[in-house]
Amino acid sequence: MNKLGHVLFATFIFTFVYVVISNLMELEIEKILIAYFIFIVYTLLPDIDKNNSWIRKQLDKIIILLLIFFTGISIINNDQTALIIAGILLLLEIILTVIKHRGPLHSFTFGILTASPLLFLDPVYFFAGFLGVVVHLLADSF
Ligand SMILES: [Zn+2]
């Protein structure tokens, strides 16, 4: 499924889940909008293992900018930590290039691992992120 298909399918599921949840608990509109944004990003996230996907192209741009930034910092300030971060970013880019599409990044484990930092913000955001990945897996299975 392509980006538009994933976003439309995810929006349909989000609306359904929202109707169910809004009957059980009260959520502010800001929180719902942020949760929807997180949900959409996470529903696209597993396809970072696909070299020509939209989300991968966005991630590549971010990684390249960070790589230039941290390499520059390491040269200018002779900073070892910045050099290690640049090395990790380069390694991440290599792993994403060689990893199999619909391999380990299309899993519940990936969903839990990538959504868990959201627990520091709000459990609702964690749920939105994890559900986004699950909805992606569901959409890919059709
Ligand atoms: Zn996929």
- Residue pair 55/3 in contact (Cβ under 8 Å)? The answer is yes
The CA 73 to ligand 1 mean position distance, Å, reads 35
Ligand 1 center to 50 CA (angstroms): 8
For 12, the token pair is: 């349909």
d(CA 67, CA 89): 6
The CA dihedral of 130, 61, 63, 120, to the nearest 10 degrees, is -30
Q: How many angstroms is it from 8 CA to the middle of ligand 1?
A: 14
Name the residue among 111, 96, 107 with its Cα closest to residue 141: 107
pTM: 0.85
Q: How far is the CA of 57 from the centre of ligand 1 (A)?
A: 15
For residue 64, name the pLDDT band (cuts at 50, 70, 90): very high
The pLDDT tens digits for 98-142 are: 999 999 999 999 999 999 999 999 999 999 999 999 999 999 988
User: Rounded to the nearest whole angstrom, what is the distance from the C-alpha of residue 45 to the centroid of ligand 1?
Assistant: 8
